[in-house]
A and B are shown apart, each in its own frame.
Chain A
Amino acid sequence: MSSSSLAAPRATRRGDDTCVPATDTRSAQAVVRVTGLSKRYDDGFQALKDVDLEIRRGEIFALLGPNGAGKTTLISMICGLVNLGAGQVTVDGHDVVRDFRAARACIGLVPQELHTDAFETVWSTVSFSRGLFGKPPNPAHIERVLRDLTLWGKRNNRLLSLSGGMKRRVMIAKALAHEPSILFLDEPTAGVDVELRREMWELVRALRDNGVTIILTTHYIEEAEEMADRVGVINGGEIILVDEKTELMRKLGRKQLTLHLQEPLDTVPASLSAYSLELAGDGHELVYSYDAATDSTGIAELLTDLKAADIRFRDLHTEQSSLEDIFVSLVRESR
Chain B
Amino acid sequence: MNWYAVRAIYRFEMARARRTLLQSVVSPVLTTCLYFVVFGAAIGSRITEVEGVSYGAFIVPGLIMLMLLTQSVSNASFAIFMPRFSGTVYEVLSAPISHYEIVLGYVGAAATKSVILGLIVLATANLFVPLEIQHPVWMMLFLILTACTFSLLGFIIGIWADNFEKLQFVPLLIITPLAFLGGTFYSINMLPPVWQTITLLNPVVYLISGFRWSFYGMADVNVALSLAMILLFLGGCLTLVWWIFKTGYRLKA
Residues of A within 8 A of B (CB): 16-17, 41-42, 76, 79-83, 100-105, 107, 109, 111, 113, 115-119, 124, 128-136, 174
Of all chain A residues, the one with the shortest Cβ separation from B8 is: A131
Given A79-B94, A107-B94, decide whether A115 and B252 contact each other with a Cβ distance below 8 A: no
A42 contact set on B, CB distance < 8 A: 253
Tell which of B19, B87, B96, B253 touches A100, judged by Cβ atoms closer than 8 Å: B96
A100 contact set on B, CB distance < 8 A: 96
With contact pairs A101-B2, A104-B96, A134-B2 given, residues A82 and B253 touching in the complex (Cβ less than 8 Å):
yes
Q: Is the CB of A131 within 8 A of B5?
A: yes
Q: How many CB-defined contacts (below 8 Å) exist between A and B? A: 83
Q: Out of B7, B15, B92, B96, which one reaches A101, CB within 8 Å? A: B96
Q: Is the interface of B mostly helix, strand, loop or mixed?
A: helix
Which B residues between 1 and 24 are near A, CB-CB below 8 angstroms?
A: 2, 4-5, 7-9, 11-12, 15-16, 19
If A102-B96, A132-B9 touch, whether A116 touches B86 (CB-CB below 8 Å) is yes
B88 and A117 contact, CB distance less than 8 A: yes
Distance (whole angstroms) from the CB of A103 to the closest CB of chain B = 8
Question: B interface vs A, CB < 8 Å?
Answer: 2, 4-5, 7-9, 11-12, 15-16, 19, 86-88, 90-98, 248, 252-253
A-chain residues with CB within 8 Å of residue B91 when the two chains form the complex: 109, 115, 129, 132, 174
Q: Does A81 lie within 8 Å of B90, measured CB to CB?
A: yes
Q: In whole angstroms, how far apart are the Cα atoms of A107 and B252 in the complex? A: 18
Q: Closest B residue to A113 by CB, please name it.
A: B87
By a CB distance below 8 angstroms, the chain A residues around B15 are 124
* Contacting residues, chain A, for B97 (C-beta < 8 A): 101, 132, 134
Q: Which residue of B lies closest to A100 (CB)?
A: B96
14 new A-B contacts, CB < 8 A, other than A132-B8, A132-B92, A133-B4, are: A17-B2, A41-B253, A76-B253, A81-B90, A81-B252, A83-B252, A104-B94, A116-B86, A117-B86, A117-B88, A119-B19, A132-B91, A134-B2, A134-B4
Indicate the member of B4, B16, B86, B98 with the most A CB atoms within 10 Å. Answer: B4
A62 to chain B, nearest CB (A): 21
Q: How far is the CA of A130 from the CA of B4 in the complex (A)?
A: 9
Determine the residue in chain B with the shortest Cβ distance to A47: B253
Of A17, A83, A115, the contact of B88 (CB 8 Å cutoff): A115
State in angstroms the CA–CA spacing of A43 and B90 once bound together. 21
A105 to B102, CA, bound (A): 16
Which of B5, B98, B252 has a CB less than 8 Å from the CB of A82?
Answer: B252
A83 engages B248 (CB within 8 Å): yes
Residues of B within 8 A of A111 (CB): 87, 90
When A81-B90, A102-B96, A117-B88 are in contact, do A131 and B19 touch as well, CB less than 8 Å?
no
* A177 CA / B215 CA spacing, docked (Å): 49
